[in-house]
Amino acid sequence: MIDIDLIRERPYVLRESGEKRGQEFRIDEAIDLDRRRRSTITEIDNLRAKRNDVSRELGKTSDKPQELIEEMRAVGSKIKILESDEKRLAENLDSILLDIPNVPSDTSPVGQDESKNVVVRTIGEAPSFSFEPRPHWEIGEELGIIDFQRGVKLSQSRFYVLKGKGATLQRAVISWMLDLHVKNHNYDELYLPFMVNRETVKGSSHLPHFEENMYHDEEDDLFMVPTAEAPITGLFRDEIIEESDLPLRYVSHTPCWRREKFSAGRDTRGIKRVHQFDKVEMYKFVKPESSDEELEKLVKDAERVCEILKIPHRVLELCTGDLGFAASKSYDVEMWASGTSEWLEVSSCSNCTDFQSRRSAIRYRPESGGRPRFLHTLNGSGLAVPRVLIAILENYQQEDGSVAVPEVLRPLTGFDKISAGS
């Protein structure tokens, strides 16, 4: 959530943010609601003070004028009406503030859409083949490791079943990525609930703007996690962390669910865009002054997965119009997929500054003393599993139809290639 002081003292910052993101925010309405709410609070406080003063005077005498008693009753009724007004104004203001995204960093490229994203670096070269490389959905079906028809049979479109060595390969990828981040990158592993309450997804900023894309159990008012970012953000909701405990770095594997609407086209084939997918998520709670540095480290941690798998990748800095709702600055990491000749986003690494910590009331206590401060949160995939599988299948495919297993994964899979019927 944005700082209310931006509404009160620097609304031009939010107007500029809207221009950079290509969006319009209800700034004037928020200013008016905040002004009226504060005025109402002042009136309530004055009436309460008056009532207290009269009550003290009445307590000093046995002679209690009836007209004064009636006046105080009227004051009490007025206070109740104003309290109701203040609650309504606060709710309306809160609704607007919750719908305003984070302010983009001054260092983020300005642009209205993804065409203005900036390629920061490209690592590795696309593999060359002596044959026409095929897309992963053809490879997976021919090898008998991806079953699209039974995924639809069990659920609906955009679901699939991994079979045999396909399921083993996914398990190996997940385990290896978790171990890499824990042992080499100093993250602590978490096992999290896959369903979370409304306050949790509100704090992570998935509510209200992302609600239509989430799966929801109405009876218990629980949401299937759209990403582990939501429950990790909520770990310290309404808590104060000691400065000496920062930074906190976590990694977790969860399935993720999204009710995204898909248009016809190439993205609807295979496992690139699906309703349920697995992801290893990295997350950091840090002091504000270190968050920019921690973002760069986060990107490097995501890139390391690509490097060890020996799959070409590139890093893009996102422009203001392509930033996520909670993000102030973001980088995307993309793997090359040879079968479809495209870059696949496998990680989006973001510095959310104090946006999520304000919504979740997460602060830290400075060692030097003083009032608790809002910390900064960062998140990034490390990585999204289906697209890693796509990159492996398409970049490691062989002329005989088999797929070689990346060397680093072989101790976990127990095999070095996947062949039809094996």
Are the C-beta atoms of residues 68 and 58 closer than 8 Å to each other?
yes
Find the range with the poorest average confidence among 219-223, 264-268, 378-382.
Answer: 264-268
- The per-residue pLDDT for 209 is 86
Are 163 and 302 in a shared domain?
A: yes
Q: Which domain holds residue 62?
A: 4-98
Question: Considering 98, 131, 165, which residue would you say is the last residue of a domain?
Answer: 98
* pLDDT (mean) for 173-188: 98
Are the C-beta atoms of residues 383 and 347 closer than 8 Å to each other?
yes
Are the C-beta atoms of residues 117 and 317 closer than 8 Å to each other?
yes
- The per-residue pLDDT for 65 is 76
Instruction: Please check whether residue 157 lies inside any domain of the structure.
Output: yes
* pLDDT (mean) for 62-82: 84
Report the share of the chain in percent with pLDDT over 90.
88
Instruction: Please check whether residue 106 lies inside any domain of the structure.
Output: no
Are 143 and 225 in a shared domain?
A: yes
Give yes or no for residue 222 having a pLDDT over 80.
Answer: yes
- The per-residue pLDDT for 73 is 86
- The per-residue pLDDT for 66 is 78
* pLDDT (mean) for 100-104: 96
- The per-residue pLDDT for 193 is 97
- The per-residue pLDDT for 69 is 78
- The per-residue pLDDT for 88 is 97
**Would you state the structure tokens that stand for residue 262, as one six-digit string?**
């898909």
Specify the CATH number for the domain of residue 225. 3.30.930.10
Are 91 and 140 in a shared domain?
A: no
- The per-residue pLDDT for 310 is 97
Give yes or no for residue 264 having a pLDDT over 60.
Answer: no
Give yes or no for residue 239 having a pLDDT over 90.
Answer: yes
Q: What is the pLDDT of residues 297-352, one digit of tens each?
A: 999 999 999 999 999 999 999 999 999 999 999 999 999 999 999 999 999 999 99
Give yes or no for residue 277 having a pLDDT over 80.
Answer: yes
Are 19 and 153 in a shared domain?
A: no
- The per-residue pLDDT for 265 is 54
Indicate the pLDDT class of residue 199, thresholds 50, 70 and 90. very high
Instruction: Please check whether residue 22 lies inside any domain of the structure.
Output: yes
Are 157 and 66 in a shared domain?
A: no
Rounded Cα distance, 363 and 242, in Å: 9
Rounded Cα distance, 296 and 329, in Å: 11
Are 48 and 124 in a shared domain?
A: no
Residue type, 278: D
Give yes or no for residue 64 having a pLDDT over 70.
Answer: no
Q: Indicate the SS3 state at residue 119.
A: strand
Are 61 and 124 in a shared domain?
A: no
Are 229 and 376 in a shared domain?
A: yes
Instruction: Please check whether residue 104 lies inside any domain of the structure.
Output: no
Rounded Cα distance, 276 and 261, in Å: 13
Rounded Cα distance, 86 and 18, in Å: 28
Residue type, 273: R
Instruction: Please check whether residue 103 lies inside any domain of the structure.
Output: no
- The per-residue pLDDT for 68 is 79
The pairing of strands 363-365 and 240-242 is parallel
Instruction: Please check whether residue 266 lies inside any domain of the structure.
Output: yes
Question: Considering 30, 65, 98, which residue would you say is the last residue of a domain?
Answer: 98
Are the C-beta atoms of residues 277 and 384 closer than 8 Å to each other?
yes
Specify the CATH number for the domain of residue 52. 1.10.287.40
Instruction: Please check whether residue 159 lies inside any domain of the structure.
Output: yes
**Would you state the structure tokens that stand for residue 50, as one six-digit string?**
């008056």
Indicate the pLDDT class of residue 1, thresholds 50, 70 and 90. confident
Are 50 and 198 in a shared domain?
A: no
Give the C-alpha distances (Å, rounded to integers) separating 201 from 17, 149, 231, 314, 393: 24, 33, 8, 31, 34
Are 222 and 297 in a shared domain?
A: yes
Nearest to 349 by CA among 313, 304, 298, 279: 298
Are 76 and 14 in a shared domain?
A: yes
- The per-residue pLDDT for 125 is 94
Give yes or no for residue 67 having a pLDDT over 90.
Answer: no
Are 365 and 405 in a shared domain?
A: yes
Round the average pLDDT of the chain to a whole number and report it: 94
* pLDDT (mean) for 18-42: 95
Question: Considering 46, 66, 98, which residue would you say is the last residue of a domain?
Answer: 98
Domain count, the chain: 2
Are the C-beta atoms of residues 403 and 397 closer than 8 Å to each other?
yes
Instruction: Please check whether residue 105 lies inside any domain of the structure.
Output: no
Q: What is the pLDDT of residues 114-152, one digit of tens each?
A: 999 999 999 999 999 999 999 999 999 999 999 999 999
SS3 annotation, 286-316? ECHHHHHHHHHHHHHHHHHHHHHHCCCEEEE
Torsion angle (degrees, nearest 10) of CA 243, 245, 248, 252: -140
If one counts every other C-beta atom within 10 angstroms of the C-beta of residue 354, the result is: 21
